[in-house]
Amino acid sequence: MRRSLWLLLPMVLLAAACDGGGGKPRSMGRPYEVTVVGRLPDSLAIALGQTVEGLPQAEPMFDVGHRPRLDPDTRLRRAIVACRKGRRLEVRHDVWARPQIVVLTDGSSPRRTAALLNAFERRQQVEALRRHHNPRAAEAIRKMFGIEMLIPADMGSSMVRPGFIWLSNNAPRGMTNIAVMRGPADVALARHIKGETDAMHMQLTGPPRARGLWEMTGDAMGGPYVMRRVGDVTVIAFVYAPESKKRNLMRQLEAALYTIKQ
Protein backbone atom coordinates (compact mmCIF):
# COMPACT_ATOMS: atom_id res chain seq x y z
CA MET A 1 0.00 0.00 0.00
CA ARG A 2 2.81 2.42 0.92
CA ARG A 3 4.69 1.61 -2.32
CA SER A 4 1.51 2.24 -4.32
CA LEU A 5 1.10 5.61 -2.59
CA TRP A 6 4.59 6.67 -3.58
CA LEU A 7 4.04 5.59 -7.17
CA LEU A 8 0.82 7.57 -7.28
CA LEU A 9 2.06 10.68 -5.48
CA PRO A 10 4.05 12.29 -8.35
CA MET A 11 1.04 11.85 -10.69
CA VAL A 12 -1.26 13.47 -8.12
CA LEU A 13 1.18 16.33 -7.64
CA LEU A 14 1.46 16.96 -11.37
CA ALA A 15 -2.29 16.95 -11.83
CA ALA A 16 -2.78 19.29 -8.90
CA ALA A 17 -0.08 21.62 -10.16
CA CYS A 18 -1.92 21.92 -13.47
CA ASP A 19 -5.18 22.65 -11.68
CA GLY A 20 -6.30 26.25 -11.49
CA GLY A 21 -6.39 26.00 -7.72
CA GLY A 22 -9.98 27.10 -7.35
CA GLY A 23 -11.80 25.95 -4.25
CA LYS A 24 -8.75 24.60 -2.42
CA PRO A 25 -8.97 24.90 1.38
CA ARG A 26 -6.67 27.07 3.43
CA SER A 27 -3.61 25.17 4.59
CA MET A 28 -3.07 24.33 8.25
CA GLY A 29 -0.02 25.16 10.31
CA ARG A 30 2.01 28.17 11.28
CA PRO A 31 4.83 29.83 9.33
CA TYR A 32 8.11 27.91 9.55
CA GLU A 33 6.32 24.75 10.66
CA VAL A 34 7.21 21.69 8.55
CA THR A 35 5.52 18.28 8.48
CA VAL A 36 7.87 15.44 7.49
CA VAL A 37 6.29 12.30 6.02
CA GLY A 38 8.39 9.16 6.31
CA ARG A 39 11.81 8.72 7.88
CA LEU A 40 13.71 11.97 8.35
CA PRO A 41 17.38 11.55 7.30
CA ASP A 42 19.90 12.86 9.82
CA SER A 43 21.37 15.38 7.37
CA LEU A 44 17.95 16.89 6.69
CA ALA A 45 17.09 16.94 10.40
CA ILE A 46 20.26 18.96 11.03
CA ALA A 47 19.49 21.40 8.19
CA LEU A 48 15.90 22.02 9.33
CA GLY A 49 16.85 22.28 12.99
CA GLN A 50 19.88 24.56 12.69
CA THR A 51 19.88 27.55 15.00
CA VAL A 52 18.64 30.84 13.56
CA GLU A 53 21.36 33.48 13.50
CA GLY A 54 21.01 36.68 15.47
CA LEU A 55 18.51 35.69 18.17
CA PRO A 56 19.21 36.07 21.90
CA GLN A 57 18.06 32.51 22.62
CA ALA A 58 18.53 29.45 20.43
CA GLU A 59 15.56 28.79 18.13
CA PRO A 60 15.49 26.28 15.23
CA MET A 61 15.03 27.39 11.64
CA PHE A 62 11.85 25.26 11.44
CA ASP A 63 9.50 23.55 13.86
CA VAL A 64 9.41 19.97 12.59
CA GLY A 65 6.57 17.50 13.09
CA HIS A 66 6.43 13.89 11.85
CA ARG A 67 3.71 11.80 10.23
CA PRO A 68 4.15 8.15 9.21
CA ARG A 69 2.03 8.49 6.09
CA LEU A 70 0.40 11.03 3.81
CA ASP A 71 -3.13 10.90 5.24
CA PRO A 72 -5.94 13.38 4.43
CA ASP A 73 -5.07 15.59 7.41
CA THR A 74 -1.39 15.73 6.46
CA ARG A 75 -2.26 16.80 2.91
CA LEU A 76 -3.67 20.04 4.29
CA ARG A 77 -0.46 21.04 6.07
CA ARG A 78 1.26 24.26 5.04
CA ALA A 79 4.72 22.78 4.38
CA ILE A 80 5.26 19.07 3.67
CA VAL A 81 8.54 17.23 3.15
CA ALA A 82 7.98 13.67 1.90
CA CYS A 83 11.11 11.54 2.33
CA ARG A 84 11.87 8.34 0.45
CA LYS A 85 15.16 6.67 -0.44
CA GLY A 86 16.16 7.23 -4.06
CA ARG A 87 13.62 10.02 -4.59
CA ARG A 88 14.78 12.87 -6.85
CA LEU A 89 14.28 16.33 -5.35
CA GLU A 90 11.02 17.84 -6.58
CA VAL A 91 8.91 20.75 -5.37
CA ARG A 92 5.25 21.59 -5.95
CA HIS A 93 3.06 24.41 -4.71
CA ASP A 94 -0.61 24.55 -3.64
CA VAL A 95 -1.20 20.86 -4.28
CA TRP A 96 -4.03 20.16 -1.82
CA ALA A 97 -4.38 23.52 -0.05
CA ARG A 98 -3.30 27.16 -0.25
CA PRO A 99 -0.67 28.33 0.48
CA GLN A 100 1.33 25.12 0.44
CA ILE A 101 4.72 23.72 -0.51
CA VAL A 102 5.39 20.00 -0.99
CA VAL A 103 8.99 18.82 -1.30
CA LEU A 104 9.80 15.26 -2.41
CA THR A 105 13.33 14.24 -1.46
CA ASP A 106 15.62 11.44 -0.40
CA GLY A 107 17.38 13.82 1.98
CA SER A 108 20.56 14.11 -0.10
CA SER A 109 20.08 17.87 -0.65
CA PRO A 110 19.36 19.13 2.87
CA ARG A 111 20.52 22.72 2.33
CA ARG A 112 18.56 22.99 -0.90
CA THR A 113 15.44 21.65 0.83
CA ALA A 114 15.80 24.16 3.69
CA ALA A 115 16.36 26.97 1.18
CA LEU A 116 13.19 26.04 -0.73
CA LEU A 117 11.14 26.07 2.47
CA ASN A 118 12.67 29.39 3.54
CA ALA A 119 11.96 30.98 0.17
CA PHE A 120 8.34 29.77 0.31
CA GLU A 121 7.79 31.30 3.75
CA ARG A 122 9.44 34.56 2.70
CA ARG A 123 7.11 34.83 -0.29
CA GLN A 124 4.11 34.25 1.95
CA GLN A 125 5.23 36.99 4.34
CA VAL A 126 5.72 39.45 1.47
CA GLU A 127 2.35 38.54 -0.04
CA ALA A 128 0.70 39.09 3.34
CA LEU A 129 2.31 42.54 3.47
CA ARG A 130 1.03 43.39 0.00
CA ARG A 131 -2.50 42.52 1.10
CA HIS A 132 -2.33 44.33 4.45
CA HIS A 133 0.06 47.23 4.94
CA ASN A 134 0.22 50.81 6.22
CA PRO A 135 0.24 53.11 3.16
CA ARG A 136 0.51 56.31 5.22
CA ALA A 137 3.69 55.14 6.89
CA ALA A 138 5.11 54.02 3.55
CA GLU A 139 4.36 57.44 2.04
CA ALA A 140 6.10 59.22 4.93
CA ILE A 141 9.22 57.10 4.34
CA ARG A 142 9.11 57.74 0.60
CA LYS A 143 8.88 61.51 1.06
CA MET A 144 11.68 61.74 3.62
CA PHE A 145 14.12 59.13 2.30
CA GLY A 146 13.20 58.49 -1.34
CA ILE A 147 12.76 54.75 -0.86
CA GLU A 148 9.67 52.57 -1.10
CA MET A 149 8.85 49.76 1.29
CA LEU A 150 5.78 48.02 2.66
CA ILE A 151 5.10 48.61 6.35
CA PRO A 152 3.05 46.11 8.43
CA ALA A 153 -0.52 47.31 8.91
CA ASP A 154 -0.38 47.03 12.71
CA MET A 155 2.43 49.59 12.98
CA GLY A 156 0.18 52.50 13.84
CA SER A 157 2.48 54.29 16.29
CA SER A 158 5.16 56.57 14.94
CA MET A 159 7.75 59.19 15.83
CA VAL A 160 9.04 61.50 13.09
CA ARG A 161 12.15 63.67 13.40
CA PRO A 162 14.38 65.25 10.74
CA GLY A 163 16.14 62.35 9.04
CA PHE A 164 14.52 59.78 11.32
CA ILE A 165 11.25 57.79 11.43
CA TRP A 166 10.38 55.19 14.07
CA LEU A 167 7.33 52.95 13.53
CA SER A 168 5.95 50.42 16.03
CA ASN A 169 2.95 48.24 16.73
CA ASN A 170 3.41 49.29 20.39
CA ALA A 171 2.18 45.87 21.53
CA PRO A 172 2.54 44.95 25.21
CA ARG A 173 3.87 41.55 24.12
CA GLY A 174 5.78 41.01 20.90
CA MET A 175 6.55 44.65 20.10
CA THR A 176 7.83 45.02 16.54
CA ASN A 177 9.57 48.15 15.27
CA ILE A 178 11.09 49.67 12.14
CA ALA A 179 13.43 52.67 12.29
CA VAL A 180 14.57 54.50 9.14
CA MET A 181 17.42 57.02 9.36
CA ARG A 182 20.25 58.87 7.70
CA GLY A 183 23.67 59.10 9.26
CA PRO A 184 25.41 56.72 11.68
CA ALA A 185 22.88 54.26 13.10
CA ASP A 186 24.31 54.23 16.63
CA VAL A 187 24.11 58.02 16.87
CA ALA A 188 20.55 58.21 15.49
CA LEU A 189 19.24 55.44 17.74
CA ALA A 190 20.81 56.94 20.88
CA ARG A 191 19.39 60.37 20.05
CA HIS A 192 15.83 59.37 19.20
CA ILE A 193 14.92 56.11 20.96
CA LYS A 194 14.97 56.72 24.69
CA GLY A 195 14.01 54.73 27.76
CA GLU A 196 12.21 55.95 30.85
CA THR A 197 14.81 58.71 31.25
CA ASP A 198 17.03 60.57 28.79
CA ALA A 199 20.01 58.72 30.23
CA MET A 200 18.55 55.50 28.81
CA HIS A 201 18.80 54.97 25.08
CA MET A 202 18.87 52.25 22.47
CA GLN A 203 22.21 50.96 21.21
CA LEU A 204 23.44 48.05 19.12
CA THR A 205 25.69 45.56 20.87
CA GLY A 206 28.84 45.65 18.78
CA PRO A 207 29.36 47.42 15.45
CA PRO A 208 26.34 47.74 13.13
CA ARG A 209 25.91 44.66 10.95
CA ALA A 210 23.26 42.81 8.97
CA ARG A 211 21.78 41.20 12.08
CA GLY A 212 22.56 41.18 15.75
CA LEU A 213 21.32 42.27 19.17
CA TRP A 214 20.29 45.63 20.64
CA GLU A 215 19.91 46.81 24.22
CA MET A 216 18.65 49.78 26.21
CA THR A 217 21.46 51.34 28.24
CA GLY A 218 20.64 51.47 31.94
CA ASP A 219 17.72 49.05 31.52
CA ALA A 220 17.10 45.34 30.99
CA MET A 221 15.38 45.82 27.64
CA GLY A 222 16.88 44.26 24.53
CA GLY A 223 16.34 41.88 21.65
CA PRO A 224 17.29 41.01 18.07
CA TYR A 225 17.52 43.31 15.06
CA VAL A 226 18.07 43.05 11.33
CA MET A 227 19.50 45.89 9.22
CA ARG A 228 19.60 46.91 5.59
CA ARG A 229 21.37 49.87 4.01
CA VAL A 230 20.20 51.53 0.78
CA GLY A 231 22.56 54.31 -0.28
CA ASP A 232 22.83 56.67 2.69
CA VAL A 233 19.63 55.33 4.27
CA THR A 234 19.70 52.69 7.04
CA VAL A 235 16.62 50.64 7.93
CA ILE A 236 16.65 48.70 11.20
CA ALA A 237 13.84 46.32 12.18
CA PHE A 238 13.88 45.14 15.79
CA VAL A 239 11.79 43.19 18.28
CA TYR A 240 11.15 43.46 22.00
CA ALA A 241 9.45 40.29 23.23
CA PRO A 242 10.78 39.25 26.64
CA GLU A 243 10.26 35.61 27.58
CA SER A 244 8.79 34.88 24.13
CA LYS A 245 10.06 33.26 20.96
CA LYS A 246 11.22 35.81 18.43
CA ARG A 247 11.96 33.90 15.22
CA ASN A 248 8.62 34.45 13.49
CA LEU A 249 8.37 38.08 14.60
CA MET A 250 11.78 38.75 13.09
CA ARG A 251 10.90 36.91 9.90
CA GLN A 252 7.82 39.14 9.48
CA LEU A 253 9.99 42.23 9.83
CA GLU A 254 12.61 40.87 7.43
CA ALA A 255 9.87 40.50 4.84
CA ALA A 256 9.29 44.27 5.03
CA LEU A 257 12.98 44.86 4.38
CA TYR A 258 12.81 42.63 1.30
CA THR A 259 10.25 45.02 -0.21
CA ILE A 260 12.60 48.04 -0.13
CA LYS A 261 13.07 49.76 -3.49
CA GLN A 262 14.91 52.94 -4.42
pLDDT, tens digit, for every residue of 129-147? Answer: 999 999 999 999 999 999 9
pLDDT at 196: 84
Average pLDDT over residues 226-244: 95
What residues contact 129, with CB distance under 8 A and at least 6 apart? Answer: 150, 152, 255, 256, 259
What pLDDT, on a 0 to 100 scale, did the predictor assign at position 208? 87
pLDDT for the residue numbered 262 = 86
Classify the C-alpha dihedral 69-70-72-75 as positive or negative: positive
Contacts of 184 (CB under 8 A, 6+ apart): none
Element (H or E) spanning 113, and its range?
A: helix 110-131
Identity (one letter) of the amino acid at 32? Y
pTM: 0.87
pLDDT band at 22 (very low <50, low <70, confident <90, very high): low
pLDDT in tens, 48-102: 999 999 999 999 999 999 999 999 999 999 999 999 888 899 999 999 999 999 9
Q: Each residue of 159-186: pLDDT tens digit?
A: 999 999 999 999 988 999 999 999 999 9
Query: Where does the chain show beta strands of DSSP type E?
Result: 33-37, 63-67, 79-83, 90-93, 101-105, 157-161, 164-168, 175-182, 202-204, 211-216, 222-230, 233-240
Give ∠ CA 32-34-36 in degrees, rounded to 5. 165
Give the CA angle between residues 166, 169, 174 to the nearest 5°. Answer: 115
Asked if pLDDT for residue 19 goes beyond 50, the answer is: no
- Amino acid residing at 215: E
- Report pLDDT digits (tens) over 97-122: 999 999 999 999 999 999 999 999 99
**Model confidence pLDDT, tens digit, residues 192-203:** 999 888 889 999
